[in-house]
């Protein structure tokens, strides 16, 4: 019986690490779930928490935009300016009822990002859902790279996402890519939107209104990026470069799930859980849902509960009044009774 319990706990935990969302192709830095991934750089480790958000306003946590500041030694993909590309996502993701997503490019090692393509409102779900859902139906996106994308062997391609429901989070993955055949020395596009990241605007849960936060995307300024510098003077340009001194770039020891991953993963429901409607608001806690989601009890026993993250950052006052303190374990916080 004891053995069975152990096995069950491991199985549930493994499933939880595959939730949230991450790029599959091009392979983001150190993903163990990617396709055609380059070797992990010396001194770095595979990131089993690659699906987790890089920030949570609810939990008061953040990591650098690219999470890791050391690029792969070789590109995850080699693309040609003007070509059609298809990017794909990890099969087992939690869609968090959709949300606003962007694909962007950086030529300054992941500090300033200009948008290449965006998927507003319904990322992963395709169209407006009838209620909260974690079921993803769109797992890949195809779009054409701009003809005037500058060539570089060290460009950084990103996917970023603000989820429509659940903890207020910002997701971002960075993949190192090479761009060939570019006809221009710079590219001008919309500045990537950062939200639900400490120091940046907040976007609340959509609660069925898919225009929530849309002004932060439609109103973004144009910026110019390129290998020899650009006009990265906007929000991302002003972003203080990821600082290794914060310790947030250090991966967890091999084979050990990071505390951050554990705490952030705890809000995930099982995929088959009943879907509540928007009308139920943010105080959803149906007995049926709870009984179908034994994860919190199991994880509460096995996960490091006291240390959300080595880099806990006091959450900025942009947080709503109902936000829990960062000292409480994720699974005990009221917002997590709403599993989506
Ligand atoms: Cu998630």
Q: How far is the CA of 42 from the centre of ligand 1 (A)?
A: 29
Q: What is the pLDDT of residue 85?
A: 98
Percent of the chain clearing pLDDT 90 (strictly above): 59
Q: What is the pLDDT of residue 18?
A: 42
Q: How far is the CA of 136 from the centre of ligand 1 (A)?
A: 12
Q: What is the pLDDT of residue 138?
A: 97
Q: How far is the CA of 113 from the centre of ligand 1 (A)?
A: 23
According to DSSP, the residues that pair with 155 across neighbouring strands are: 177
Per-residue pLDDT tens over the stretch 42-74:
999 999 999 999 999 988 899 999 999 999 999
Q: What is the pLDDT of residue 44?
A: 97
Is residue 265 over pLDDT 90?
A: no
Q: How far is the CA of 152 from the centre of ligand 1 (A)?
A: 33
Q: What is the pLDDT of residue 1?
A: 38
Q: How far is the CA of 226 from the centre of ligand 1 (A)?
A: 32
Is residue 287 over pLDDT 80?
A: no
Q: Structural domains in the chain?
A: 19-257 (2.70.50.70)
The mean predicted confidence, pLDDT, of the chain is 74
Q: Which residues of 104-135 are buried (b: 16+ CB within 10 A; e: fewer)?
A: bbbbbbbbbbbbbbbbbbbbbbeeebeebbbe
Q: How far is the CA of 225 from the centre of ligand 1 (A)?
A: 30
Per-residue pLDDT tens over the stretch 217-250:
999 999 999 998 766 444 443 333 333 223 333 3
pLDDT band (50, 70, 90) for residue 183: confident
pLDDT band (50, 70, 90) for residue 255: very low
Percent of the chain clearing pLDDT 70 (strictly above): 62
Query: Mind giving me the DSSP string for 147-205?
Result: TTPPPEEEEEEEEEEEESSSS-EEEEEEEEEEEES---S-EEEEBPP--SSTTS-----
According to DSSP, the residues that pair with 80 across neighbouring strands are: 180
Q: How far is the CA of 20 from the centre of ligand 1 (A)?
A: 3
Q: Specify the DSSP element, H or E, that contains 43.
A: none
Is residue 89 over pLDDT 80?
A: yes
Per-residue pLDDT tens over the stretch 95-145:
999 999 999 999 999 999 999 999 999 999 999 999 999 999 999 999 999
pLDDT band (50, 70, 90) for residue 9: very low
The answer to whether residues 178 and 75 touch, using CB atoms and an 8 Å cutoff, is yes
| Cβ partners under 8 Å of residue 8, min gap 6 | 298
Q: What is the pLDDT of residue 228?
A: 84
Compute the distance between CA of residue 88 and CA of residue 86 in angstroms, rounded to an integer. 7
Per-residue pLDDT tens over the stretch 11-25:
344 444 448 999 999
Q: How far is the CA of 61 from the centre of ligand 1 (A)?
A: 14
Q: How far is the CA of 19 from the centre of ligand 1 (A)?
A: 6
| Cβ partners under 8 Å of residue 67, min gap 6 | 29, 47, 50, 54, 172, 173, 174, 248, 249
User: Taking the C-alpha atoms of 206, 208, 212 and 218 in order, what is their torsion angle to the nearest 10 degrees?
Assistant: 130
Q: What is the pLDDT of residue 222?
A: 97
Q: Which residues of 22-40 are buried (b: 16+ CB within 10 A; e: fewer)?
A: bbbbbbbbbbebbeebbeb
Compute the distance between CA of residue 126 and CA of residue 299 in angstroms, rounded to an integer. 32
Angle between helices 2-17 and 295-302 (to 10 degrees): 100
Q: Specify the DSSP element, H or E, that contains 260.
A: helix 259-265
Q: Specify the DSSP element, H or E, that contains 116.
A: strand 114-119
């Amino acid at each position: 019986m004891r053995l069975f319990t152990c096995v069950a706990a491991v199985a549930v935990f493994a499933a939880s690490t595959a939730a949230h969302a991450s790029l599959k192709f091009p392979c983001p830095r150190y993903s163990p779930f990617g396709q055609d991934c380059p070797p992990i750089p010396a001194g770095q480790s595979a990131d089993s928490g690659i699906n987790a958000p890089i920030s949570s306003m609810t939990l008061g946590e953040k990591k650098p935009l690219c999470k890791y500041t050391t690029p792969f030694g070789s590109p995850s993909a080699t693309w040609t300016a003007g070509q059609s590309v298809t990017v794909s996502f990890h099969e087992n993701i939690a869609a968090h009822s959709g949300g606003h997503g962007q694909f962007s490019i950086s030529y300054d090692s992941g500090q300033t990002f200009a948008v290449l393509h965006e998927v507003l409102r319904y990322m992963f779900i395709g169209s407006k859902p009838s209620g909260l859902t974690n079921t993803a139906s769109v797992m890949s996106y195809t779009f054409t790279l701009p003809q005037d994308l500058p060539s570089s062997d060290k460009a950084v391609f990103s996917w970023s996402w603000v989820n429509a429901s659940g903890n207020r989070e910002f997701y971002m993955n960075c993949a190192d890519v090479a761009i060939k055949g570019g006809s221009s020395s710079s590219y001008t596009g919309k500045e990537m939107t950062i939200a639900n990241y400490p120091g940046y605007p907040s976007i609340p849960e959509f609660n069925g209104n898919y225009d929530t936060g849309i002004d932060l995307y439609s109103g973004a300024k144009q910026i110019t990026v390129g290998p020899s510098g650009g006009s990265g003077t906007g929000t991302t340009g002003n972003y203080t470069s990821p600082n290794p001194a914060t310790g947030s770039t250090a991966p967890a020891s091999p084979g050990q799930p990071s505390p951050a991953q554990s705490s952030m993963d705890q809000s995930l429901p099982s995929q088959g859980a009943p879907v509540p409607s928007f009308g139920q608001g943010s105080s959803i806690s149906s007995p049926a849902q709870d009984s179908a989601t034994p994860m919190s009890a199991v994880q509460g026993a096995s996960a490091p509960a006291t240390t959300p993250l080595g880099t806990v950052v006091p959450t900025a006052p942009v947080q709503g009044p109902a936000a829990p303190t960062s000292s409480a374990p994720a699974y005990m916080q009221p917002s997590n009774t709403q599993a989506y």
